[in-house]
Amino acid sequence: MIHHIPNVLSKAQVQYFREEMSKVEWVNGKVTTGTLSATVKQNQQLAEAHPLTQHLGNIILEALGQHPLFLSAALPLDILPPFFNRYENNESFGFHVDNSIRNIRGTQQRLRTDLSCTVFLSEPEEYEGGDLVVEDTYGYHEVKLPAGDLILYPSTSVHEVTAVTQGCRIASFFWVQSMIRDDANRHMLFNLDQTIQNLRTQLGDTHAEVVKLTSMYHNLIRKWAEL
């Protein structure tokens, strides 16, 4: 399931990110790519070890930890520290699938990539092309979101970033290991949680049906969670 998570970063935060990024050098994006994906990848990245990468990534992680829609959709166990990329001058990233396992920077810990995330840091009108295209059971979905918004989709999906023919596309990208490995189960829990939130607003937290559904939600997490 593909989820649009709005307003992960404020416009002021996006402006701060862009200003700080303009002060540093970017490196070839192939440095974080497997051998197969490297053949179709043409972009630039902030160096993984650069202090700015860690600083800006921590801001995103803090924002995600306070974003109820992201938490409901992802049910995160671990989040890989965010990376940052830039596309311009016809750069693109052809169709590929993300690596299933990634090392968490600076540790010996590994993460299973259940969900792929992109936080857009350029407004759609700033560039031509540069669509994130995600393939799923129902076809191809073209995504170009306002700056500060996030797209969340299963890492099993084949996807691409089309060529940026004008302007510059800047974004953050990273992966999530969810407590719920199965995408269908995770989606059912998301729908159940959203229903509970709506009923809490209408009926109150102590209404019998709200309590029953909340109990069901947590019992399903107990059944399916991998910690």
Residues 163 and 131 in one domain: yes
> CB pairs under 8 A, 24+ apart, for 19-28?
20/52, 20/55, 20/56, 21/46, 21/52, 21/56, 21/84, 21/86, 21/170, 24/50, 24/52, 26/86
Q: Which domain holds residue 84?
A: 3-178
44 and 85 belong to one structural domain: yes
- Are residues 33 and 114 both part of a single domain? yes
Instruction: Please indicate, yes or no, whether residues 172 and 212 belong to a single structural domain of this protein.
Output: no
Residues 193 and 148 in one domain: no
Give the residues of the chain that fall short of pLDDT 50: none
**146 lies in the same domain as 206:** no
pTM of the model: 0.94
pLDDT at 39: 82
Residue 94: per-residue pLDDT: 95
Domain co-membership, 165 together with 220? no
